[in-house]
C-alpha cells in the first residue's frame, strides 16, 4: 500500500493520530432526544392509557385494476443503480467531511462554535493551527479513498457519481409517473398520517403490525418513508450541495439563506447523509426480517415467489459486485488518479464551465458581517528571500509580471497602491468545507491587465507563490483570463482594513470570488500570462491540481 507514498506523503496520508472521535454539543443531543424519545414516549402513553390502536395494515383495500402490481424491470434496475451510487456518494462524502471535521450553523466557523466535531483536538490558543493540520484520518474501509488529505480524489468520486445519481433519479421519477407505480409512493389522502401514527405505535410498543405484501401494497409508514427518500432527501441533498458552491453563493446570495446560511447547508447535507444511512439500515433489516427470499424476488426478478431463491442469489451477486467495485475504486484512487481527474474534468469540468463559471459575483456583505475568526491555511514560506522581505515590511518587494505581454513590469507595493484600490467584503469558501467573511483591499486585476496588455492568444494567468506545496516544490495556481476580469477579482494587500498579515498571504494574495480558496494564491511572488495552463508544472493548472488532483475549475 505505502509503496505509493514517499516519506513526505506518508506523514500526510498516514498520520500517527488516527483516533476516532465524535463530540456533539448537548443542545443537539437534546433536540434529537426530544424528537426520537418524544415520539416513542407518546406512543407508549397512548398504548398504556388507551390501548393499542387499530392496525391500518389489515384494512388496506384490495388491489384494483388501476393499482400497481409487482415491480417492473425498470424499477428494479433503478433501485439497484441508486443503491450503488449512494454507497459511492456516502463513502466519498465521508472522506470530504473529515478534511474539515467540524460542522456549524454559522458562516464564521469559529472553533468552539461547531455543533459536532469528528476530532478529539480542540484548536490550541497558544499557536497557529491551520485548517490543514485540523484534518483527520479516515480509514479506506469507511471512506473513499480514505487517508488524510485525499480531498482532491474524494471530490472526484463525489462529483463523478452525483450527475449519474441524479440522472438515475430523474429517469425513475419520469417512469414512475408515466406508469401507475407512482401510487406506491405518493400519498393521495391525509388519512395516511393518522394511519402512519397507528403503525408507529405498534412498532414502538413491540406489537408488530401486520406486514402487507409489498408486491401489492405498502403500509403507511413505508409509503411515507419511500416518498421522503425519493422526493425530499434526494432534492435536499442536491439543493444543499448547490448552496455550498462559491460561484452560486457569490452571485445569488439569497440562495444559501433558504437553508439558513452556507454552513447550515453543509450541516443539512450531512444530516441528509445520516438519514440515508439510517434508512438503508432499517430498510435492509426489515427486508430480511419480513421474508428475505420473497422480498428479494420482488426487487430483482419482479415475482411474488417465496420459495425460489433466484432473486436472493441475484441480489447477493449485485451486493458482492458493489463491494468489488469499492475495492476497485480504492485501487484506482491510488494507481490511476490522473485518469479519474481526467474523467472529472471531462464530465463536471465541462458542465461547470458552461454553467456556474459564467456567474459574476455580486457585492452583498457589510462590515458587520465580518467573521471574528478566519481559519489560516497553507504552509508558511520557507524561502529566505520572502523572510528577508518580511523583515523589512516588504519595502523592497517587487511583483514581477511577465509572459506573453506587451509590457512586462516589476511593481513595488507602493506603485501598486498608487495605481488603484478596490475594497470588497466577501465570503471565503475553502475546499475543505470551512468558510469565513473578511474585507479585502487591493488592486483590481483588470488594472494590471490594462497595464501589461496580454497577447490576444493568452487565455490563462499563472500566479506564483513564495510558499511551497503540501509535498514541497514551488506553489502556483492558474485562472482563466475571463475569471481574472470578473467583479471582485483583486490582488489584496489589506485584510479587515489592516495590512495583510503574514499568515494570510503578505505581501499579496489573490481573490477570485467565484472560486474555492485554494485557487487564491497567497504570498504572491510573480504573475505570468500564458496561452494555456497545460504549459506549466505538470500541465493540470496548479500545484494542488498537479499533486492532489484538485479541480481546475473550483467553483462548486
Residues of the chain above pLDDT 70, percent: 99
Note the pLDDT tens digit of each residue in 91-140: 999 999 999 999 999 999 999 999 999 999 988 877 888 898 899 999 99
- Reported residue count of the chain is 556
Q: Are 435 and 427 in contact (CB under 8 A)?
A: yes
Query: Residue 61 contacts by C-beta under 8 Å, 6 or more apart in sequence?
Result: none
What HEC string does 472-523 produce? CCEEEEEEEHHHHCCCCCEEEEEECCEECCHHHCCCCEEECCCCCHHHCCCC
The 10s digit of each residue's pLDDT in 376-391 is 988 889 999 999 999 9
pLDDT digits (tens, 9 = 90+) for 198-236: 999 999 999 888 888 888 889 899 999 999 999 999 999
Q: Which of 131, 348, 114 shows the shortest CA–CA distance to 245?
A: 348
Q: Can you tell me the distance from the alpha carbon of 401 to that of 458, in angstroms, rounded to the nearest whole number?
A: 14
- Provide Rg for the chain, Cα atoms: 27
List, for residues 300-329, the tens digit of each pLDDT value: 999 999 889 999 999 999 999 999 999 999
In whole angstroms, give the CA distance from residue 448 to residue 127. Answer: 37
Helix (H, G, I), strand (E, B) or coil at 468: strand
For the domain bounded by 362-547, which CATH number is listed?
A: 3.90.420.10
| Angle at the Cα of 68 from the Cα atoms of 67 and 73, rounded to 5 degrees | 165
Indicate yes or no: pTM above 0.75: yes
**193 contacts 36 by C-beta, under 8 angstroms:** no
Partner residues linked to 526 by β-bridges: 400, 464
Lowest mean pLDDT across 313-317, 352-356, 364-368:
352-356
How large is the average pLDDT for residues 2-14? 73
Q: Tell me, what's the pLDDT at 554?
A: 86
Residues 6+ positions from 84 with CB-CB distance below 8 Å: 322, 325
pLDDT tens per residue, range 421-463: 999 999 999 999 999 999 999 999 999 999 999 999 999 999 9
DSSP state of 359: -
Q: Pairing relation of β-strands 409-411 and 422-429?
A: unpaired
Distance CA 121, CA 105 (A): 20
Q: What is the pLDDT of residues 396-421, one digit of tens each?
A: 999 999 999 999 999 999 999 999 99
**In this structure, are strands 509-511 and 490-495 parallel, antiparallel, or unpaired?**
antiparallel
SS3 444: strand
* Cα gap 368→365, rounded to integer Å: 8
Instruction: Count other C-beta atoms under 10 Å from residue 289's C-beta.
Output: 11
Task: Match 414502538 to its residue by C-alpha cell.
Answer: 204
- Three-state DSSP class for residue 403: strand
Among 286, 211, 269, residue whose Cα is nearest residue 92: 269
The domain locations on the chain are 2-356, 362-547
CA separation (Å) from 156 to 42, 152, 304, 382, 551? 45, 6, 40, 31, 8
Amino acid at each position: 500500500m505505502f509503496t505509493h507514498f514517499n516519506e513526505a506523503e506518508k506523514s500526510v496520508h498516514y498520520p500517527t493520530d488516527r483516533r476516532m472521535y465524535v463530540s456533539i454539543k448537548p443542545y443537539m443531543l437534546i433536540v434529537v432526544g426530544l424528537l426520537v424519545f418524544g415520539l416513542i414516549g407518546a406512543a407508549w402513553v397512548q398504548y398504556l392509557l388507551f390501548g393499542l390502536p387499530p392496525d391500518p395494515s389489515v384494512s388496506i383495500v384490495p388491489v384494483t385494476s388501476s393499482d400497481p402490481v409487482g415491480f417492473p424491470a425498470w424499477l428494479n434496475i433503478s433501485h439497484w443503480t441508486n443503491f450503488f451510487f449512494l454507497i459511492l456518494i456516502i463513502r466519498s462524502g465521508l472522506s470530504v467531511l473529515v478534511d474539515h471535521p467540524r460542522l456549524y450553523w454559522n458562516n464564521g466557523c469559529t472553533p468552539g462554535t461547531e455543533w459536532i466535531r469528528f476530532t478529539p483536538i480542540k484548536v490550541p490558543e497558544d499557536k497557529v493551527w491551520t485548517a490543514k493540520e485540523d484534518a483527520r484520518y479516515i480509514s479506506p474501509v469507511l471512506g473513499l479513498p480514505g487517508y488524510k488529505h485525499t480531498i482532491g480524489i474524494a471530490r472526484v468520486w463525489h462529483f463523478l457519481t452525483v450527475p449519474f445519481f441524479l440522472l438515475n433519479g430523474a429517469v425513475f421519477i419520469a417512469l414512475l409517473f408515466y406508469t401507475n407505480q407512482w401510487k406506491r409512493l405518493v400519498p393521495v389522502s391525509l388519512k395516511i398520517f393518522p394511519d402512519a401514527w397507528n403503525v408507529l405505535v405498534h412498532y414502538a410498543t413491540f406489537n408488530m403490525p401486520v406486514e402487507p405484501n409489498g408486491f401489492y401494497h405498502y403500509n403507511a409508514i413505508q409509503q411515507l418513508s419511500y416518498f421522503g427518500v425519493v422526493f425530499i432527501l434526494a432534492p435536499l441533498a442536491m439543493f444543499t450541495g448547490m448552496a455550498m458552491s462559491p460561484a452560486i453563493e457569490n452571485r445569488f446570495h439569497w440562495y444559501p439563506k433558504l437553508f439558513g446560511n452556507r454552513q447550515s447547508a453543509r450541516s443539512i447535507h450531512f444530516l441528509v447523509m445520516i438519514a440515508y444511512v439510517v434508512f438503508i439500515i432499517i430498510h435492509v433489516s426489515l427486508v430480511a426480517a419480513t421474508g428475505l427470499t420473497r422480498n428479494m424476488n420482488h426487487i430483482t426478478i419482479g415475482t411474488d415467489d417465496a420459495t425460489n431463491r433466484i432473486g436472493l442469489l441475484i441480489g447477493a451477486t449485485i451486493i458482492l459486485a458493489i463491494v468489488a467495485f469499492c475495492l476497485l475504486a480504492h485501487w484506482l484512487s491510488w494507481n490511476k488518479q490522473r485518469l479519474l481527474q481526467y474523467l472529472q474534468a471531462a464530465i463536471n469540468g465541462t458542465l461547470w464551465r458552461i454553467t456556474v463559471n459564467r456567474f459574476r459575483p455580486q457585492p452583498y456583505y457589510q462590515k458587520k458581517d465580518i467573521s471574528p475568526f478566519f481559519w489560516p491555511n497553507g504552509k508558511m514560506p520557507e524561502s529566505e528571500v520572502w523572510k528577508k522581505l518580511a523583515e523589512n515590511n516588504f519595502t523592497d518587494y517587487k511583483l514581477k509580471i511577465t509572459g506573453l505581454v506587451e509590457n512586462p513590469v516589476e511593481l513595488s507595493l507602493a506603485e501598486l497602491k498608487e495605481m488603484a484600490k478596490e475594497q470588497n467584503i466577501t465570503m471565503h469558501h475553502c475546499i475543505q468545507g470551512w468558510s469565513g467573511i473578511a474585507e479585502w483591499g487591493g488592486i483590481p486585476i483588470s488594472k494590471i491587465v490594462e497595464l501589461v496588455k496580454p497577447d490576444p492568444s493568452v487565455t490563462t494567468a499563472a500566479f506564483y507563490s513564495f510558499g511551497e506545496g503540501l509535498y514541497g516544490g514551488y506553489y502556483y495556481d492558474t485562472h482563466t483570463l475571463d475569471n481574472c476580469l470578473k467583479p471582485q477579482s483583486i490582488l489584496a494587500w489589506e485584510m479587515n482594513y489592516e495590512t495583510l498579515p503574514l499568515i494570510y498571504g503578505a505581501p499579496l494574495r489573490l481573490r477570485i470570488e467565484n472560486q474555492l480558496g485554494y485557487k487564491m494564491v497567497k504570498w504572491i511572488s510573480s504573475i505570468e500570462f500564458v496561452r494555456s495552463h497545460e504549459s506549466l508544472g505538470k500541465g493540470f493548472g496548479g500545484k494542488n491540481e498537479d499533486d492532489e488532483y484538485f479541480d481546475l475549475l473550483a467553483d462548486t
